Amino acid sequence: MRYEVVEDTGEWIVRSDGCELARYPDQDAALHDVADRLRDADGSTPASLSVRYQSKAG
């Protein structure tokens, strides 16, 4: 299972395999969501997490 947390216009989006699972107003809530999902996942299946931040215009 691949999880991705993406910052987008002030929201944090949790995605898995290209599908949006949830949106949160802060990064901590999004990361807690993924942690809960990983705890409940089948431990025999590999899992990964990536975090993408919105680029800051200078």
Domain limits, the chain: 2-52
| CA dihedral sign of residues 46, 32, 36, 6 | negative
* Paired tokens of 55: 């680029």
Q: Residue 41 — very low, low, confident or very high, per pLDDT cuts 50/70/90?
A: confident
Query: Is the distance from CB of 15 to CB of 3 less than 8 angstroms?
Result: yes
Q: Enter the pTM of the model.
A: 0.85
Whole-number Å distance between alpha carbons of 12 and 24: 5
How much is the pLDDT for 22?
A: 98
Whether the per-residue pLDDT at 56 is higher than 90: the answer is: no
- Per the prediction, the chain carries an average pLDDT of 91
Whole-number Å distance between alpha carbons of 28 and 34: 10
Q: Which residues, at least 6 apart from 53, have a Cβ–Cβ distance to it below 8 Å? A: 7
Whether the per-residue pLDDT at 57 is higher than 60: the answer is: yes
